[in-house]
A and B are shown apart, each in its own frame.
Chain A
Amino acid sequence: MRRSAPEAGDLVDDAGLVRGLAAGDRQSLAALYDRYANAALGLAFKICGNRTIAEDIVQEAFLAFWQRPDSFDVKRGSPGAFLMGIVHHKAVDAVRRESSVHRREENFAMDAQDFSGDEVVEAAWVSIRRQKVLAALSQLSDVQRQALELAYLQGLTYSEVASRLDIPLGTAKTRMRDGMIRLRTLLSQSEVTATHDS
C-alpha cells in the first residue's frame, strides 16, 4: 500500500480553494491537486487506458480550472465534481480521437497492475464520495447501471452502448436518462451533492 504525503489543502474547504483560484493563488491550486489528483488520474486512466495520456489529461484539466476559475459556479455544484467533469470530457475526447477501443483495451491490460483500489489512500472526502456514489449505483437497476458504466466509464456514445448491448437506440437513451435522474436523486438524498463540498 502506498501512502500519500499530507495534503496541503486539508484544512481548507473546497469553496475556499475556489476563491483562492479566482484570486490567482497557486497554493490553492496545489491544495486542489493534492485533494483530487489521484481520483482524476484514476478516472482518466479508466477511460483512456494509457498512463501517459491520462497524466496529460489530468494536467490539462487542472490548468483549465486554473485558467477559468470563473467557469465554475459554486451555486451549481461542487468543484470536485466539476473537475472530474473536465477530466471526463477530455478523456473521452482523447479516446474518440484515437478511435480505437481495441487499443484502449490492450493498454488497459498492459497497465492493469497499476490500477488497484488499494494502491492509494484516498483523501477522506474523495473516499466518502466514492462510497456514496458506489452505494447509489448499487441501487439502480442492472440495466441502468450497465448503461451508465459503459457510457461514462468506458466513454462510449449512447449509440455505441446500444450496439454493445444489442438494444434499440431509444432504449439505451432511456436507460441512461432514467439512470442519471435516479442517481441524482439518490446522491441528493445522501447529501453528497447538496453540501457542495463546503
Chain B
Amino acid sequence: MTHDELKSLVPVFALDALGSEEEQELVAHLKVCLECSNILAEHRETAGMLGFAAGSLQAPGDLRDRILSQAAKTSRLQAIAPPVQLKSPSRRSWGGQWAGLAAAACVVALVAVGLTFLRIGGQADRLDRQEQVIAQQREVLNLITSPDSIVLAMAPTEASPGGEGRAFISDREGAAAVVVSGLRDPGDDVYTLWLIVDGEPQPVADFVPHDGLALVPVDGAVEPEMTLAVTVEPNRGNTSPRGPVIMAASRA
C-alpha cells in the first residue's frame, strides 16, 4: 500500500476495526512514519473518548481488591521494562548528524569542566581521575561521530523532571553512549542508566549531571529489543531500580 492508503486506514485502526493483514502492514508502517504515528495518537484519544458512550456498569466490589492485590505482586522491574520510543531508530540522517553535533558540543563542554577541575585540583589522584574521565569522554566523542552509529531520542515519561536525552549506538564498535542535557541536579538522589535485556534491568552507571549535562558510556553492544532507561534513584549502587523511569529508548 502507498503512504496515503495507509494513512487513510489510521482512523479505522484507532477503532480496532482493521482486518489482520491490513493491521500488520499499518503497524509496520507506523514504526517508521512519524506523521501517521501522530495522526494515530489523535484518533486514539477520540476512540478512547468514544468508549464513554457505552455507559457504565457497576463493578463488583471484589474486582477492585483483585486488581490491587495483583498489582502488589507485580514487580516494578516489570513495570519499568517496556519502553516508550519517540521515533524509530534510523541510520544517521541529517537530523542525526545535527544530534551528533549537539552531543559533541556537550562532550566538549564536559571536557572543559574536567580541565577546569584539573587546574584547580592539582593533586595526583585527582589528576589521574580526570585523565580517565577525559579519555572516557574522547571515546564517547568518537562513538558519537562514528558514521555507523544510530541515534535514538530518549522519550521522556510522565515522571521526567525535564531535560533531553539521546542514545548513540554503534554496532561496529559494539558500544553505546547516552548524552543528556538540561537535566536538573538530583539533590540527594542520583540518576542511573539501565540496560533492560529481556525485561531485566541491568545497571550501567550512576551519574550526576554537570550544569545539566552528562554523558554515560555503555560498555558493550546494545542489541535490538534492548532498552535504555534512566531512573532517579535514592542512592547509588542499586542493582535493581527503585525510582521512576524519567526517559527511555528502545531499538525495537
Contacts and interface: CB of A to CB of B under 8 A. Distances in A.
Contacts of B155: 70, 73
A43 B47 CA distance: 12
A151 B58 contact: no
Contacts of B80: 70
Q: In the complex, which range does the number of interface residues on chain B fall in?
A: 35 or more
Given A153-B53, A177-B8, A148 B15 contact: yes
Interface string A73-93: 110111011111101110010
A33 B17 contact: no
B48 A152 contact: no
Contacts of B64: 30, 33-34, 37
Interface string B44-81: 11111111111111111001101110111010101110
Contacts of B47: 81, 85, 88, 152, 180
B44 A137 contact: no
Given A24-B76, A173-B8, A193-B45, A115 B17 contact: no
A55 B66 CA distance: 10
Interface of A: 2, 4, 15, 18-19, 21-24, 26, 29-30, 33-34, 37-43, 45-47, 54-55, 58-59, 62-63, 66-74, 76-78, 80-85, 87-89, 92, 114-115, 117, 119-120, 122, 126, 129-130, 132-134, 137, 148, 151-153, 155-159, 161, 173, 176-177, 180-181, 183-184, 187, 192-193
A126 B56 contact: yes
Contacts of A62: 67, 71
A55 B159 contact: no
B18 interface: yes
Q: Which 9 A-B pairs have the closest CB atoms?
A: A81-B48, A84-B51, A77-B45, A180-B11, A38-B56, A85-B48, A46-B54, A151-B17, A70-B157
A18 B54 CA distance: 24
Nearest to B43: A180
Nearest to B38: A76
A102 B130 CA distance: 73
Given A71-B82, A85-B51, A180-B14, 18 more contacts: A26-B71, A33-B67, A38-B57, A40-B59, A41-B57, A43-B51, A59-B66, A70-B82, A71-B84, A84-B50, A87-B51, A88-B47, A133-B52, A152-B17, A153-B54, A176-B17, A180-B43, A187-B49
